[in-house]
């Protein structure tokens, strides 16, 4: 079983790759889509170009596909990337980090059906609190690189997902209905280390921008 992983560099795609490997899949390649549209319906955009450093430390080939990010049309670009992975690396499965988005999951499934590939969603419908605890227990070092919901502000940028973060996220959910795992787009993440990495990544520089309750942190990796 050879899998290509749809990979954004955030917690969900990294954990999906980890779970796929645990299930016995050979991780043959990572597939990343670089979208010009920061409001893309399908693709994670903060720090997306840093997936190149992640791929190097995982030591897996990376396929990069660029897209304008226009709704639905970006799916044709995703299909191109998946088709390339199937041809070049002989994959039979696509692994995704989809958790709750029917929009994403249904469209990826449609592409897989068309290309005669299995679609593996190892964290689909996973309990969000259990999921965050699993990240911590399995030594995933995940930081927040974008916040996009009230009352989140720039003080959350760079925070690591640890027990204190989980407690704070529960409070936010109780008071403001912010999704604990950020599935509503409330926050975006970047993985600096996990069991798939040969060496942890270090932040060399960072650039913070935004206002009110919409902030992002672009990082440089050494």
Is pLDDT above 90 for 57? yes
What confidence score (pLDDT) does residue 41 get? Answer: 61
Q: Tell me the C-alpha distance between 97 and 49, whole Å.
A: 18
pLDDT tens digits for 145-197?
A: 999 999 999 999 999 999 999 999 999 999 999 999 998 889 999 999 999 99
The answer to whether the beta carbons of residues 15 and 135 sit under 8 Å apart is yes
pTM of the model: 0.94
What structural domains does the chain harbor? 2-120 (3.40.50.620), 140-221 (3.90.1490.10)
The answer to whether the beta carbons of residues 147 and 154 sit under 8 Å apart is yes
* Least confidently predicted of 9-23, 97-111, 149-163: 97-111
Q: Reading across the β-sheet that carries 26-35, which strands appear in turn?
A: 62-67, 26-35, 2-6, 93-95, 118-120
């Amino acid at each position: 079983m050879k899998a290509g992983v749809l990979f954004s560099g955030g917690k969900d795609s990294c954990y999906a790759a980890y779970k796929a490997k645990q299930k016995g899949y050979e991780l043959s390649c990572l597939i990343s889509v670089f979208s010009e549209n920061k409001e893309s319906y399908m693709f994670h955009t903060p720090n997306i170009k840093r997936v190149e450093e992640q791929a190097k430390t995982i030591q897996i080939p990376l396929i990069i596909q660029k897209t304008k990010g226009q709704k639905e049309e970006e799916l044709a670009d995703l299909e191109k990337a998946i088709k390339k992975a199937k041809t070049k690396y002989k994959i039979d499965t696509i692994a995704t980090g989809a958790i709750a988005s029917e929009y994403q999951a249904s469209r990826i499934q449609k592409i897989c059906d068309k290309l005669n590939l299995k679609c593996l969603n190892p964290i689909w419908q996973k309990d969000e609190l259990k999921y965050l605890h699993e990240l911590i227990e399995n030594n995933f070092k995940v930081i927040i690189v974008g916040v996009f919901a009230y009352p989140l502000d720039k003080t959350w940028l760079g925070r690591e997902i640890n027990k204190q973060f989980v407690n704070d996220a529960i409070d936010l959910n109780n008071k403001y209905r912010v999704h604990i795992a950020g599935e509503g787009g409330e926050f975006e993440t970047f993985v600096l280390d996990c069991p798939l990495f040969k060496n942890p990544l270090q932040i060399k520089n960072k650039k913070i921008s935004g206002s009110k309750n919409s902030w992002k942190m672009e990082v440089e990796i050494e």
